[in-house]
Structure 1
Amino acid sequence: MAQEELSLRRLRTWLRLLRLTRSTESRLRDFLRVNFDTTLPRFDVAAALYRQDEPMKMSELSRMLLVSNGNATNVVDRLEQEGKVHRVSRESDKRVVLVELTPSGRDWFREISAAHEQEVNRIFANLGHDELTQLRDLIRIAERAQDDHR
């Protein structure tokens, strides 16, 4: 009976984590839509490109974001229409298309990321250093356990 009880607790914990993740993501989606007329996928693409010092291959971008090439391409298309990213061809191989933030895209991302950080800070305002350390440590343990079962 103890093993069944532990199994049920693991399931309930997973459901709580899922509920927390979904509700937080929903709040951030609303925040970005209302305050910046943008989407979380656009923010995620811009964040990945912002961290790069040079243009990135679309396949690298989609792998980094854990999305399909088609999904990444659609988001990049929208950002390109808005002048926030541009595509460049690799000199050595014109078939390879790279993407990077434009200067105005970098400025836009700096503004939006600062506001995003403040919103995340508000969402988790009740968590202090000790709670965040505990949570980080527990997440690491869960990640290792998941890696052990792959």
Structure 2
Amino acid sequence: MADARDTVRLSLRLLTTSRLIEREVDALFRARFDSTIARFDFLSALDRHGALTLGEVSQYLLVSNGNVTQLRTRLNEDGLIETEADKSDRRIQRVRLTKRGESVFKQMAKAHAARVDSLLGELTQTDKQALTRLLDGAKSSIRRKLTKGAAP
């Protein structure tokens, strides 16, 4: 069994690293795009998966439906997304990127990658690939535990 101190230390390192990156990327998005990391995440989900229901967006982003609804309203007002009826069931509404949304997302993604590259500049490409592989394994393990209903 892992030493509890090591487990807590690992958890805190993951949280701190994530928060540092998130803070810097959010500041970049606010300054360059008058946007936020939450809006970027929403656009990213649509870029990866295409047209989605708000419930699907909520699941991908791990946030409440209320948060997604607020984001949708603002992104729609900014002309970055649009709502369309589902092709198989007209009662279901899906959101998707507009052409403008695709363009803005690509610019944001490029700026995001450049900023994170600069933040992680002291890591080699091999280190980054190894870290990605380890984090993918950790994420998969956590998702399996949560899916099985394991106690926290």
TM-score range relative to shorter protein = 0.7 to 0.9
Displacement, 1:129? 2.1
- Structure 1 position 18 matched with structure 2 position 15: yes
Aligned to 2:28: 31
Q: Report how many aligned residue pairs link the two structures.
A: 146
Give the distance between the partners of 2:91 and 2:122, measured in 1 at CA. Answer: 50
Amino acid at match of 2:84: V
- Structure 1 position 49 matched with structure 2 position 19: no
Give the distance between the partners of 2:136 and 2:87, measured in 1 at CA. Answer: 42
Q: What is the SS of the residue equivalent to 1:86?
A: strand
Give the distance between the partners of 1:144 and 1:44, measured in 2 at CA. Answer: 20
Displacement, 1:91? 4.9
Q: Which runs of 5+ in 2 are unaligned?
A: none
Per-residue Cα deviation, 1:20-57 (whole angstroms, up to 9, x for no partner): 1111111111111011110111101111111234x222
Instruction: Tell which structure's C-alpha radius of gyration is larger.
Output: 1
Aligned to 1:107: 103
Displacement, 1:70? 1.4
RMSD of aligned alpha carbons: 2.1
Displacement, 1:69? 1.5
Q: What is the SS of the residue equivalent to 1:56?
A: coil
Displacement, 1:145? 5.2
Query: Which of the residues 77, 82, 85 maps onto 1:86?
Result: 82
**TM-score, normalised via structure 1 length:** 0.85
Give the distance between the partners of 1:59 and 1:143, measured in 2 at CA. Answer: 21
Question: Cα 1:6–1:75, aligned 2, differ >3 Å: closer, same or farther?
Answer: same
Per-residue Cα deviation, 1:100-123 (whole angstroms, up to 9, x for no partner): 111111111111111111111111
Give the distance between the partners of 2:76 and 2:140, measured in 1 at CA. Answer: 38
Give the distance between the partners of 2:65 and 2:43, measured in 1 at CA. Answer: 15
- Structure 1 position 119 matched with structure 2 position 115: yes
**TM-score, normalised via structure 2 length:** 0.84
- Structure 1 position 9 matched with structure 2 position 6: yes
Displacement, 1:139? 2.6
Q: Which runs of 5+ in 1 are unaligned?
A: none
